[in-house]
């Protein structure tokens, strides 16, 4: 606010002869001060309006976001309801997602019927063959399956059930690869 401060001393020296110039000097700073004040008021107003607009924009964005979230949540709920209705029998839970091997591929895995005289399967008949899934010993006539990836052997029924849920060997987690015949 330098102009009004500079203008006042000139106003005190007003009674000097060139009145018009003095008046001009008096008025010019006063006008400049008023202009600056109006300008500053305008700037303040503009800043306030800008802040208000920004605030409103943020509020609108927040409201839109909330609405979008609500709509998405409703959509998910409706989808869930539709899925629930789509299931043939609502009393039985829907089947778990198939992340294991398809049964058609499991059937292609090599199977064998171990000989009762065959103990560990490697010629040493000291200990009977044990299924790692059910911990039951091999009995005559049972069908077994050996996984081609790692050679681990199980009851066919035990490992088939396992492989429907998980594509890895129950013992060493080796990925079971179906032989292409
Ligand atoms: Zn078993
Ligand atoms: Zn294995």
Per-residue exposure over 40-65, b if at least 16 CB sit within 10 Å of its own CB, e if not: eeeeeeeeeeeeeeeeeeeeeeeeee
Cα separation values, 58 from 55, 61, 63, 68, 101, Å = 5, 5, 9, 15, 51
Q: Which of 57, 86, 115 is the last residue of a domain?
A: 86
Centroid of ligand 2 to alpha carbon of 142 (angstroms): 20
Q: Which of 86, 114, 135 is the last residue of a domain?
A: 86
Within this chain, do residues 8 and 82 fall inside the same structural domain, yes or no?
A: yes
- Examine residue 64 and state whether it is found in any structural domain, yes or no: yes
| Domain interval for residue 33 | 2-86
- Examine residue 113 and state whether it is found in any structural domain, yes or no: yes
Question: How much is the pLDDT for 41?
Answer: 85
Centroid of ligand 1 to alpha carbon of 157 (angstroms): 7
Within this chain, do residues 70 and 118 fall inside the same structural domain, yes or no?
A: no
Within this chain, do residues 63 and 125 fall inside the same structural domain, yes or no?
A: no
Within this chain, do residues 31 and 109 fall inside the same structural domain, yes or no?
A: no
Centroid of ligand 1 to alpha carbon of 129 (angstroms): 10
Within this chain, do residues 77 and 8 fall inside the same structural domain, yes or no?
A: yes
CA distance 53 to 60: 10
Centroid of ligand 2 to alpha carbon of 21 (angstroms): 107
Question: How much is the pLDDT for 100?
Answer: 85
Within this chain, do residues 45 and 20 fall inside the same structural domain, yes or no?
A: yes
Q: Which ligand lies nearest to the CA atom of residue 132 in the structure?
A: 1
Q: Which of 66, 86, 106 is the last residue of a domain?
A: 86
Within this chain, do residues 76 and 108 fall inside the same structural domain, yes or no?
A: no
pLDDT in 10s for each residue of the chain, 181 residues: 445 444 444 444 445 555 555 555 555 555 567 777 888 888 888 999 999 999 999 999 998 889 888 888 888 788 777 666 655 556 776 665 658 888 888 989 999 998 766 654 444 455 788 999 999 988 888 999 999 889 999 999 999 999 999 999 999 999 988 777 6
- Contacts of 37-45 with C-beta under 8 Å, sequence gap 24+, read none
Within this chain, do residues 49 and 108 fall inside the same structural domain, yes or no?
A: no
Cα separation values, 168 from 30, 100, 129, 175, Å = 90, 8, 21, 4
Centroid of ligand 2 to alpha carbon of 172 (angstroms): 4
Within this chain, do residues 7 and 81 fall inside the same structural domain, yes or no?
A: yes
Centroid of ligand 2 to alpha carbon of 90 (angstroms): 38
- Sheet strand arrangement including 144-146: 111-112, 144-146, 153-155
């Amino acid at each position: 606010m330098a102009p009004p401060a500079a203008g006042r001393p000139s106003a005190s020296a007003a009674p000097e002869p060139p009145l018009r110039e003095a008046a001009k000097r008096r008025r010019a700073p006063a006008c400049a001060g008023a202009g600056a004040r109006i300008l500053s008021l305008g700037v303040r107003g503009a800043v306030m309006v800008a802040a208000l607009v920004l605030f409103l924009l943020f509020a609108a964005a927040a409201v839109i976001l909330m609405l979008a979230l609500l709509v998405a949540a409703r959509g998910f709920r409706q989808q869930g309801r539709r899925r629930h209705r789509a299931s043939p029998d609502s009393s039985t839970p829907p089947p778990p997602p198939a992340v294991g091997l398809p049964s058609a591929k499991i059937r292609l895995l090599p199977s064998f019927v171990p000989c009762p005289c065959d103990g560990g399967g490697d010629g040493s008949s000291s200990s009977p063959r044990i299924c790692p899934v059910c911990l039951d010993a091999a009995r005559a006539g049972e069908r077994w399956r050996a996984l081609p990836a790692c050679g681990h052997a199980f009851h066919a029924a035990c490992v088939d059930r396992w492989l429907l849920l998980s594509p890895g060997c129950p013992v060493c987690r080796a990925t079971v690869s179906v032989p292409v015949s």
